[in-house]
Amino acid sequence: MHEEKVSAVTAHRVAVFSDAVIAVIMTVMVLELRAPDDPALSALWPLWPTVISYAVSYLFIAIIWINHHYLMSLVGPPTLRLIWINFAHLFMVSFLPFATAWVARTQLASAPVAFYAALFVCVDIAYNVFEREVLARAHPAHVSHRARRMARRRSLAVLAIFAAAMLVALVAPRFAFALVCGALLLHVRPEAPGSRR
């Protein structure tokens, strides 16, 4: 009984720590938003790359948090391996404010968008490893075999789109940015088809 309580607290601490890191990342990102000195509304127009890149990155972090929260609800006693995978995932996510600022300041230029998409690839790889570790340990009553298979397929599809966006960015950065946005929509709902909760 005592061991179960310790395990539950440990899983809770992993979730709370991750929430805190994600909150700090969002705070750092919003600090990049700077109001123009000009009082005219027309002064906002040059800020469109900042607004768009911030909005997409904010959506990405929201999706990360929602999916992380869902997966943590399936975790029993977290293993040391799972905790380190979680740290690796958070490490990749922590680069998002830097990548977002670069994309915004260069108005979606090729190299920054390619770097942005490459970061999404790295974050998604870390997330896929985290997701696989959690689902492998999840009780079949919570996640069916079909749901696990569908989650793997969805994860690979998203990863492929991010990788394609990284390459497309070298010739068509705005289209690549749109590909990143489209891939994010596949993870808006955390449960894969066939999940039973």
Q: What is the pLDDT of residues 79-120, one digit of tens each?
A: 888 999 999 999 999 999 999 999 999 999 999 999 999 999
Residue 11: is its pLDDT beyond 90?
no
**168 token code pair:** 């497309």
Length of the chain, in residues:
197
Chain centroid to CA 102: 18
Report the alpha-carbon distance of residue 92 to residue 103 in Å, rounded. 17
Domain borders along the chain are 2-32+48-185
Report the alpha-carbon distance of residue 59 to residue 40 in Å, rounded. 28
pLDDT, the chain, mean:
85
**What is the CB neighbour count within 10 angstroms for residue 117?**
26
**174 token code pair:** 């705005």
Report the alpha-carbon distance of residue 154 to residue 183 in Å, rounded. 10
Listed residue (72, 183, 49, 56) closest to 130, CA to CA: 72
pTM of the model: 0.84
Residue 35: is its pLDDT beyond 80?
no
* Average pLDDT score over residue span 44-53: 84
Listed residue (113, 93, 119) closest to 175, CA to CA: 113
* Beta-carbon contacts of residue 98 (< 8 Å; ≥ 6 apart): none
